[in-house]
A and B are shown apart, each in its own frame.
Chain A
C-alpha cells in the first residue's frame, strides 16, 4: 500500500517538534516528517514522490530564512506532481500582502495562527486529509483514523 506523508516545515526546532507531537494521533496510518527549511522539504517531497508515495499535506511556517512558507507553497502549487497536496500555513506573523499571496498563488487550504490550538489543528488536518484521500481516489475505508465522517459524508453526498 502507498504511504501517506505529512510534511511539517518550521525553522524553529522546538516548534517543529511540538507540531509533530500534536499530530502523532495520525501516526499509525501515515508518516509525519519534520523539516527545518523549505529547501529541506523540497528535497524530501522529491524523494517521497519518486518512491511512489503521497505527500498528502504540507504544514508550513511563513517567516523562515531562505525561501518563505508562501513562496514554498506557491511552488508546490505549480508542481503537477502534487495536484492534491493539502496546504496549511501556520504562522505567527504574516503581512496583509503575504496573506493575499498565500491565497492567490499558493492556494492554501487553511490558515492557522500561532499559537495554535491542538484540537483545532487536528480537526483541520483530518478534514483536509479526507479531502486528499477522496480527490486522489484512494479507498477511504482503508484509512479510518485519517478521515472525518462529517466531511466524508458531505463530499460523498455532493457527488452522489
Chain B
C-alpha cells in the first residue's frame, strides 16, 4: 500500500498518461502466458493495467523459485530495461488474464513542465521496485528459517517420542510382570489364609490389602497412645495395632487376649498392606509409562458414550497422594456423553491438576485449594481447573505449552516438561480448545470440548 502512495506522490497518473497511453503499445496475456523467459532478450518496460504476473527463477539444478509477484500499477522488466542488459533474469508469466502497457528502450523521452529527465521520471519506480523485491526476499528468508526451526523441533520430538516409546515398551514388560505376579501372589495367599484361617486373621489380611495404611503417621501416634491407655499395651504393641487402623469395635472380640493377638493382627494386616502398596506402586509405574508413551504413539481406542466426569474422577483418584495436602472443590455438572479415549482425557486432567497442586505445595501457599468444575453450554463441554497458587509468571505464559518446557528442573517429581505439551495436543486432537489465565493467587485453565 505504501508503495502505491509513494508512486502517486511522484505522479503515477502523469507517467501513465505520458508514457503508457499509446494503444499500439499494449499487450494482453491469458492466464499462464509467458511474458519473457529467463536469459532471453527484453528491451521493454511494462506497466500492469490489470491482472497479476509472477516471476520465477530457475537454478542450475532445475529447481524453480518465485522471486517476485506484481499486480496492477506495478512495473515488470525493470531490471533488464534499466540495467541496459536487455536480458531478463527471470521467467515472467501471467498468473491470471492480464492487460499490460509498455515502452521501448529506444522510445523518445517525454518532456514535462519542469523539464525533468527520463531518469528523474523513472528513478522512484526503479527504487521502489527494487526495495519491494528486496523485502520479499527477506520475508522468504525469514519464513524459510522459521520452517527450518519448526522442522528441527519436530524432528527432535519425533526422536524423543521414539526413544520414549521404546523405553516405555521395555518398562511396560517389566512392570507388567511385577503387576501380574503381585496380583497372583496376593490372590493365592488370600485363598491360603482363607482356608487355614483359625482366628479370623484372614480378615486382617483383607483389611490391609484393601486399604493399606490409611492413617497418617501422626494419626498412628495418636491412636497408639489411646490403645496404650485402653488396653495397657506397651508402646511397641500399641503402635503395631494402631497402624492397622482397626477400630475399638473391630478389636472387641479380641479384647481378652489383646496383647497376644496384637502381634498376629499386625502381622497379617501387614502382609495384606504390603500387597496393597505393591499393587499401588506398580499401577503408578504403569501410569507413568503410559503418559510417556503418549508422546510416541497415539492411543486409538475410543469409547462411545463416555461420561467425561468419570475421567475427572479417575484422574483425581490417581492423584490421591498429592490431594491429601490440598483442599479439593468438585463441581461436576450433568454432561452429554462424548466419544473419546478415556485414558487420554484422564491424562489431560491429571497433568493440569497435578501442576496446580505442585505449584501450590512448592510455594507453601496457605490453604491450597483446587477447584474442578464441569458444565454443558450448547454443544460444548467446559472444564475449568482453578488453583490459588502463585500463578504463572508473565514471561513464562507463552512457553508453558511448549514441549521441553519445565519449571521442575531441580528434580521435583516428574519433570520431563512434556505434560502441558501433551495436554494441548490431546485437546486439539478432539477439536477442543485450551486457554489459561493466571495472576498471583488465581490460575485458571479452561478446556472446551465439542460434543460430537
Residues of A within 8 A of B (CB): 12-14, 16-18, 21, 27, 31, 33-36, 40, 44, 63, 65-66, 93-95, 98
Chain B, range 198-217, C-beta contacts under 8 Å to A: 212-213, 216-217
- Write the chain B residue with the least CB distance to A31: B235
**Is B399 among interface residues, defined by CB-CB distance under 8 A?**
no
Pick from A27, A35, A65: contact of B236, CB below 8 A. Answer: A27
Shortest B241–chain A CB gap in Å is 15
Name the residue among B212, B218, B321, B362 with the largest chain A CB count within 10 angstroms.
B218
- 22 A-B pairs (CB sep. < 8 Å): A12-B321, A13-B213, A13-B217, A13-B321, A14-B280, A16-B217, A17-B243, A17-B273, A21-B270, A33-B217, A35-B218, A36-B216, A36-B217, A36-B218, A40-B217, A63-B413, A65-B325, A66-B361, A66-B364, A94-B411, A95-B410, A95-B411
Whole-angstrom distance between the alpha carbons of A36 and B218 in the complex?
A: 8
User: In terms of DSSP, what is the predominant structure of the interface of chain B?
Assistant: helix
Residues on the A chain within 8 Å of B236, using CB:
27, 31
Complex formed: what's the CA distance from A17 to B364 in Å?
25
**A4–B281 Cα gap in the complex (Å)?**
32
**Which B residues touch A93, using CB under 8 A?**
411-412
CA distance A33 to B222 in the complex (A): 12
Q: Which residues of B have CB within 8 Å of A12?
A: 321
Q: Which of B213, B218, B325, B362 contacts A40 (CB 8 A)?
A: B218
Is B93 in contact with chain A by the CB < 8 A criterion?
no
Interface residue? B277 (CB, 8 A): yes
Residues in B whose Cβ lies below 8 Å from that of A95: 410-411
> Cα distance A61–B115 when bound, in Å?
91
Given A34-B220, A36-B216, A36-B218: A14 and B411 interface contact (C-beta under 8 Å): no
Query: Which residue in chain A gives the minimum CB-CB distance to B276?
Result: A14
Instruction: Type the 1/0 row for B374-414, where 1 means its CB is closer than 8 Å to any CB of A.
Output: 00000000000000000000000000000000000011110
> CB within 8 Å of A: which of B255-302?
270, 273, 277, 280-281
Please count the residue pairs between chain A and chain B whose beta carbons lie under 8 angstroms apart in the complex.
48
* Cβ-closest chain A residue relative to B212: A14
CB distance from A57 to the nearest CB of B (A): 17
Which residues on the B side are within 8 Å of A21 (C-beta)?
270
Q: Which residues of B contact A65 (CB under 8 A)?
A: 325, 361-362, 364
Extra pairs beyond A31-B236, A66-B364 (17, CB < 8 Å)? A12-B321, A13-B216, A14-B213, A14-B277, A14-B280, A17-B273, A21-B270, A33-B217, A34-B220, A35-B217, A40-B217, A44-B221, A63-B411, A65-B362, A93-B412, A95-B410, A98-B410
Q: Specify which chain A residues have a CB less than 8 angstroms from the CB of B321 in the assembled complex.
A: 12-13
Complex: how many Å from CA A27 to CA B362?
Answer: 34
Q: How far is the CA of A17 from the CA of B281 in the complex (A)?
A: 13
Q: Which residue of A lies closest to B219 (CB)?
A: A36
Docked Cα-Cα span, A101 to B216, in Å, equals 29
Residues on B with beta carbons closer than 8 Å to the beta carbon of A35 = 217-218
CA gap between A16 and B220 in the complex, in Å: 13
